[in-house]
Structure 1
Amino acid sequence: MHLTLQQLRLFEAVARHRHFTRAAEELHLTQQAVSIQLRRLEENAGAKLFEHIGRRFFLTPAGHEMHAACADILARLQALEESLDALGDTMKGPLRLSVVTTAKYFIPHLLGAFIAGHQAVVPRLIVTNRARVVERLADNQDDFVIMGQVPTHLAIETCPFLENRLVVAAHPDHPLAGMPAIPPALIAGERWLVREAGSGTRTAFDQHMAGQGVAIAPYMELGSTEAIKQAVIAGLGLSVLPLASMELELSCGCLVVLDVDGFSLCRRWNAVWLKGKTLPRVARAFLGFLQGVAAGRSAGPTARRD
């Protein structure tokens, strides 16, 4: 058989996801390109690797054999690459990361500082929602992921680093702006703009208010921190936001932080990977870099639980 590494990578991704589109996204290819390469792989293998039943597709017995071989070959190649890199003095190779969406406010800056000292490292950063990050973690698609609220249904290793302070954000003209020690019961009747159910910020806020004996009725649910910030700036209501995400808006006076009595939500960002996984050399170096940054900051606007 005349198989190419690209075909093996494509087949492994499609077989793992059971989804052509997700595999294409992971490998930065079009779905058509993936389909063409897999047809060629089947021709070279001389066997049908997929079968379609209704709108779903499954691996054939030959497909299962091919998948096992692909996983073994690609794992051996990755181990070889890491071993060769470890023999050299230069830190080099890929750094594969997935992060939850609000990590975009600080991870690119930290990644840039790390790359400045290790020019041969090639970063591969995916920013997506928490559910997708958990999927990628479960599928072991990255060296590690960065998130706030860690999943409880997976066997994982975690390394907490930067703090994530959550605050109550308001328009500067809001009646409560500037009021000291606002009672939690007073803000309960405000219009609340919240993230979707399941997000780390939403969960942390709901749990905190429940602990205060205060029930919050969401006024609007929005799917991103940026959308919520714009809605607060427009005067539509209050929200709980990561302080890290508000630096620009606070500096220009578009948003203010309310002084709510007893409201102290400080979470942690975590680097997370599957238990038993051996982190590549580059990933270990970046993890050490993150820990070093965290050690130099007692607290800061660089964290969030998404």
Structure 2
Amino acid sequence: MARMHLTLQQLRLFEAVSRHRHFTRAAEELHLTQPAVSIQLRRLEENVGAKLFEHIGKRFFLTPAGHEMQAACNDILGRLQVLEQSLDSLDDTLKGPLRLSVVTSTKYFLPHLLGSFIVDHPAVLPRLIVTNRERVIERLVENLDDFVIMGQAPDDLAVEAHPFYENLIVVAAHTQHPLSAVRSIPPLQIARERWLVREAGSGTRSAFDRYLIENDLAITPYMELGSTEAIKQGVMAGLGVSVLPISSMQLELTNGCLAVLDVQGFPLCRRWNAVWLKGKTLSPVARAFVDFLLAGASSDRTSPLAGGRLSASNAPGN
């Protein structure tokens, strides 16, 4: 280890390149030229005494040594960030970055929660990545964020998961669907419908799959779509029915573009969770935001939007 003479600039450069998997994007983020980044990383490899990157065809990969360096960079830079924010907190002003990765469906409520938090703490700088569940788990494993927000926490990872927000999943249909006026629809009957579903691995899809298993049912999806917005458009076009978080349907329900079917066993009641690796030390900013989320949960805040729960006007049976 004595042979290593690493600089913080080299570690920041390597972290950015390994995160983006792209030299040009890393250079743009750090306001440097690509040649300057390449030179610094070559020097880093010389100091380490091992290749950290390799190109196979047009694809960019980290070597085994590169993965070790990535983990070390995340640890070192993360600790420095915690130190910086801890020192900043001594002046009683909460400030600094808040790095979050969240699954796509949270975009319908999380900006409202984040906005309320920023009103009280304007010096906090949120950095929000909205992506699919698979990528959120990857970022969780790589410890790239302060914490992540998802539905079901992964069972195969040692994590802390703190539920804070109610996630009601309902069966959505076109307003003129024949079943829109039917009450207490049996699971077997709804299973015969033409189904639009999210891709495998989606949290909403996983919740629906569990519902099918619990009711000893199986469906053949008519269409598999990659986003909640695509699902909503398909349902509104009359292509089929689907399961959707109620929080994603507020505008369409208000405008009478979608209906919630009264299906036995629905709504599926889940919770959104703030999740991080067990043993991780949260920065003061991250801890404050988690406390803010949990305080809302303890006060039974289920939605920052009007009608976050199934209201009398859109609930099945009314």
TM-score of the two chains, using structure 1 as the length reference: 0.86
Q: Equivalents in 1 of 2:35, 2:308: separation in Å?
A: 44
C-alpha distance 282-214 of structure 1, shift in aligned 2 (>3 A): same
Give me the CA root mean square deviation: 3.1
- Cα displacement string for residues 86-127 of structure 1 (whole angstroms, at most 9, x for unaligned residues): 312111111111100010001111000000000111111111
- Cα displacement string for residues 235-287 of structure 1 (whole angstroms, at most 9, x for unaligned residues): 00000000000000000000000011232310000000000001111111111
Of residues 212, 222, 227 in structure 2, which corresponds to 1:224? 227
Matched, 1:38 2:37: yes
Of residues 127, 131, 134 in structure 2, which corresponds to 1:124? 127
SS in 1 for 2:274: strand
CA contact (8 A) 1:163 1:302 kept: no
Of residues 133, 142, 145 in structure 2, which corresponds to 1:142? 145
C-alpha distance 34-273 of structure 1, shift in aligned 2 (>3 A): farther
SS in 2 for 1:190: coil
| Residues 1-306 of structure 1 aligned to structure 2 (within 5 Å) | 5-15=8-18, 17=19, 20-21=21-22, 29=28, 35-42=34-41, 47=46, 49-50=51-52, 52=54, 54-55=56-57, 57-59=61-63, 70=73, 73-297=76-300, 299-300=302-303
C-alpha distance 195-74 of structure 1, shift in aligned 2 (>3 A): same
Unaligned 5+ residue runs, structure 2? Answer: 310-318
SS in 1 for 2:28: coil
Percent identity between the aligned chains? Answer: 60
SS in 2 for 1:176: helix
CA contact (8 A) 1:2 1:44 kept: no
Instruction: Report the CA distance between 1:217 and its aligned residue.
Output: 1.6
Q: Equivalents in 2 of 1:97, 1:286: separation in Å?
A: 11
Q: Equivalents in 2 of 1:128, 1:53: separation in Å?
A: 26
CA contact (8 A) 2:74 2:144 kept: no
TM-score of the two chains, using structure 2 as the length reference: 0.83
2:220 counterpart letter in structure 1: A
SS in 2 for 1:115: helix
SS in 2 for 1:218: coil
Q: Equivalents in 2 of 1:210, 1:57: separation in Å?
A: 39
Q: Equivalents in 2 of 1:299, 1:50: separation in Å?
A: 46
CA contact (8 A) 1:177 1:256 kept: yes
Q: Equivalents in 2 of 1:90, 1:30: separation in Å?
A: 27
SS in 2 for 1:214: coil
Q: Equivalents in 2 of 1:38, 1:182: separation in Å?
A: 61
C-alpha distance 59-215 of structure 1, shift in aligned 2 (>3 A): closer
Instruction: Report the CA distance between 1:302 and its aligned residue.
Output: 5.9
C-alpha distance 57-265 of structure 1, shift in aligned 2 (>3 A): closer
Instruction: Report the CA distance between 1:204 and its aligned residue.
Output: 1.0
C-alpha distance 59-185 of structure 1, shift in aligned 2 (>3 A): closer
C-alpha distance 28-121 of structure 1, shift in aligned 2 (>3 A): farther
C-alpha distance 57-228 of structure 1, shift in aligned 2 (>3 A): closer
CA contact (8 A) 2:95 2:285 kept: yes
SS in 1 for 2:211: helix
2:243 counterpart letter in structure 1: V
